[in-house]
Amino acid sequence: MTDKENLKIQAIENGTVIDHIKAGQALNVLRILGIAADCRGTVSFVMNAPGAKGRKDVVKVEGRELNVEELNRISLIAPNATVNIIRDFVVLQKKKVVLPTYVEDVVRCINPNCISNSTEPIKSRFSVIRSEKGGVVLRCLYCEHVISENIAEHLV
């Protein structure tokens, strides 16, 4: 890690730094984490930062250690993201996000006739599959419709 990158990640006292997000996806990462405008903690992000593998985004969430399930959701839109849990300016843990096998209430089904898009008391549910080309495919557990591209556009 270069000193410059080191600085970006460790510049917060406590919280979570999500690094190596595909450039342009930082706002979607916040959405998928459910971090909205009314969030009280400091949230900052770097967009289009130069990285070893090209441009990337970085998101820093202060005062909050995100749990594994929340973090793994990120892999739907940023499969190469890494997560740093920080306490007292020290990187306590550093790990890659892992594609979950199942997600609930994260993405809306694209089939307008799907029961999950009605007023029934249910959440959207999808099984998550890695496609042959390495992308992510979501299959609705209710109607079996498949979302294979632009997943970020269908975030709840």
Partner 1 sequence: MSFKNRHVISMKDFSREEIDHVLDTAEKLEPVARGMEKSRLLDGKIIALLFFEPSTRTRLSFETAIQRLGGQIINLGSVEASSVMKGENLADTIRVISKYADLIVLRHPQDGSARMASEFASVPIINGGDGSIHHPTQTFLDLYTIRRESHLEGLKIAMAGDLKYGRTVHSLCHALSLYGAEMTFVSPPELRMPAEIVRDLKRQNIKVGETDSFEDVIGDIEVLYMTRVQQERFPDPEEYEKVKNRLKLTGELLENAAPDLKILHPLPRVNEISPEVDETPYACYFQQAFYGVPTRMALLTLAMGVIE
Burial category of 2 from C-beta neighbours within 10 Å (exposed 0-12, middle 13-18, buried 19 and up): exposed
Direct distance between the N- and C-terminal alpha carbons of the chain, in angstroms, rounded to an integer: 35
The dihedral through the CA atoms of 96, 17, 62, 108 has a sign that is: negative
Minimum gap (Å) between residue 147 Cβ and Zn ion: 9
Question: Interface with partner 1 includes 134 (CB under 8 A)?
Answer: no
According to CB under 8 A, which one of 100, 116, 126, 128 is a site residue for partner 1? 116
The pattern of x and - marking residues 52 through 71 that bind Zn ion according to CB under 5 A reads --------------------
Give 107's DSSP letter: B
Provide the pairing of β-strand 90-96 with 102-104: unpaired
Comparing CB distances to partner 1, the nearer of 13 and 144 is 144
Point out which span in 6-14, 19-27, 33-41, 144-152 binds partner 1 (CB under 8 A): 144-152
Binding-site ranges for partner 1 (CB under 8 A): 111, 113-116, 118-122, 140-146
